Amino acid sequence: MVDQGIDELVHDPDIKTRAAELYYGLVDADVIFYFSDIAIQAEAMGAKVTYSRTGMPAVSSPPEAVNVPRASDVSRMRANAQVVSSLAVSFPERFRAALIYGPFTVAGQVVGEETLMRETTSRPQEAEKILEQSFECARSYADLLIEAGANLVWVSDPLAALIAPEDFQKFAGSYLRRLFEHYSGLPGILHICGDTSSIISHMASTGVTGISFDNCMNLLGIEDYVPEDTLIIGNLDPVEVVSQGDPAGIAASTRDLAAVMGIKNNFALSTGCAVPPSAPVENVQSFMHAGRKALEELGPFSSHLAKLQQAVYQGLTQETQQLVQEAGNAGIPALTTIRSGLTRAVRKASACYEAGRCHLPSLLLKVDAFYKGFNMLENHDQQSNGSQPLVLLGTVKGDTHDIGKNLVRIFVQTNGYDVLDLGVNVSAQEFLDAFLADGPVLIGLSAFTSSSKNQLQQIIKTFRDSGYTEIPIIVGGAAVNAEVARRAGADGYGRDAVRAVELANRLVAKSLAKA
């Protein structure tokens, strides 16, 4: 948005204001941020910080003596307050974030992350002393920003993800709660980077309005742990999808996330963390436009679809069929019923299965309910019209087991692929004939018995000897492990249905990129 480097941007409120006004004039976000950095509070407490044109400010050495200044006496904090004040005039109808870093993260910046981690165990009183000083700095800074016109408190505390769950409340949660209580009249959002599955209840207990989840989190797997009155915010990948993707791919990923999470009343669509400054603005616009449109279209149907997905998730076949019928009577498009009702439930089940909270007997009942509803929709075969990538699946010759293969099929289908399932006892030639006839982008082989696993190498060799070296072939089943897959010449091993889908996504993306 501006020509100046980061080293100038972080100090000059006029440049920073101009950059924000230009950006948010093009990007219609509900919450606007000024450009900031993780080192600002540590620097105010005495740490030495280095600057560069292209890199973010970083702490180079700890302070000789820690101090807790008034934010109004710190030049960079005053500059950010000036930016907020200008943005309040330029964007009076939007939320303007007071972006501050949590006490635990700032304390780690001040004394060193490893030092702080050790002190939480070896010298907890010293840790609490620096945490209290970091809290006072954060509160003073937030006060200054709110006085300038910020009307939402956004606290990012990435280092807190590394605390043992049993210690989170003492060394992070209690300070965060005090911050949010101090600004109880304003919306408060908490973001902690990484996998925060084990501390969701602690995060919610800080009194936040919403929790922003990193893109590594599967929202379906954790949604039940977030209170209904707390926003689930997230969580499109800001780097690989938004920054490095193309507008069409970004729109597709955004629509998928909206279709899955948009039926939740407490969901707010966002990226999983900050979008890199280098991200093309047209990419961000694609995300915003696709997300708003998808959520708007889903809104009138969300209540009914929420009931449907719950029936499927509970394995209630008759209730699922009744709700599918009612969805049709209510004019809900068949594809919407599939994606945001039926498919959502199975994808949630897969997330819980991966986390060990859902087991095979329950999973099979959910899949049964899914199919009962899925087969009622006369037009369900039109959901892709052949436009989705095709995956070829089958259990190898000599093996008639199909439970694992069927689970892979349903998870692959519900993740945006068409599937040609050859069934069980499938020979190498039958796999090759189907490949030549239908042109799949990936082949999945299942072997349940020890004797049948020997077929894997023969089938893969048939493809390679026939000159088809580029088609990805993955293997799985009770008789297979990573070493068996390697010896057979497979491109990957899917330990279970969830891993098979993740592997398929990676291999297909890599294969299509080469095409």
CATH number (domain holding residue 476): 3.40.50.280
- Picking from 179, 212, 245, the residue at the C-terminal end of a domain is 212
320 and 440 belong to one structural domain: no
For the cut 80, the answer to whether the pLDDT of residue 515 exceeds it is no
pTM assigned to the model: 0.83
- Picking from 212, 231, 264, the residue at the C-terminal end of a domain is 212
The conformation of residue 155, written as its DSSP 8-state character, comes to E
Evaluate whether residue 289 is within a structural domain: no
For the cut 70, the answer to whether the pLDDT of residue 442 exceeds it is yes
Q: Which pLDDT belongs to residue 387? A: 67
- Beta pairing class for 48-50 and 58-61: antiparallel
CATH number (domain holding residue 339): 1.10.1240.10
Evaluate whether residue 260 is within a structural domain: no
436 and 345 belong to one structural domain: no
Q: Which of 230, 233, 294 is nearest to 258 (CA)?
A: 294
Collapsed DSSP state (helix, strand, coil) of residue 49? strand
Cβ–Cβ under 8 Å, residues 245 and 275: no
Q: Which pLDDT belongs to residue 511? A: 82
Band the pLDDT of 58: cuts 50, 70, 90. Answer: very high
- Picking from 350, 374, 398, the residue at the C-terminal end of a domain is 374
366 and 391 belong to one structural domain: no
Q: How many domains does the chain have?
A: 3
Evaluate whether residue 246 is within a structural domain: no
Evaluate whether residue 331 is within a structural domain: yes
CA dist., res. 110 & res. 59, Å (int) = 8
54 and 185 belong to one structural domain: yes
Q: Which pLDDT belongs to residue 45? A: 97
For the cut 60, the answer to whether the pLDDT of residue 221 exceeds it is yes
DSSP codes joined into one string, 311-346: HHHTT-HHHHHHHHHHHHHTT--HHHHIIIIIIHHH
Q: Which pLDDT belongs to residue 382? A: 45
DSSP codes joined into one string, 62-121: --SS-----GGG-HHHHHHHHHHHHHHHH-TTSEEEEEEE-HHHHHHHHH-HHHHHHHHH
Evaluate whether residue 314 is within a structural domain: yes
Count Cβ atoms within 10 A of the Cβ of residue 245 and give its class: 0-12 exposed, 13-18 middle, 19 or more buried: buried
Lowest mean pLDDT segment, chosen from 33-37, 261-265, 415-419? 415-419
Average pLDDT value over all residues in the chain: 93
Q: Which pLDDT belongs to residue 381? A: 46
* β-bridge partners, 121: none
175 and 84 belong to one structural domain: yes
Cis peptide before 235 (omega within 30 of 0): yes
- Beta pairing class for 267-271 and 231-236: parallel
Its domain, for residue 496, covers 385-514
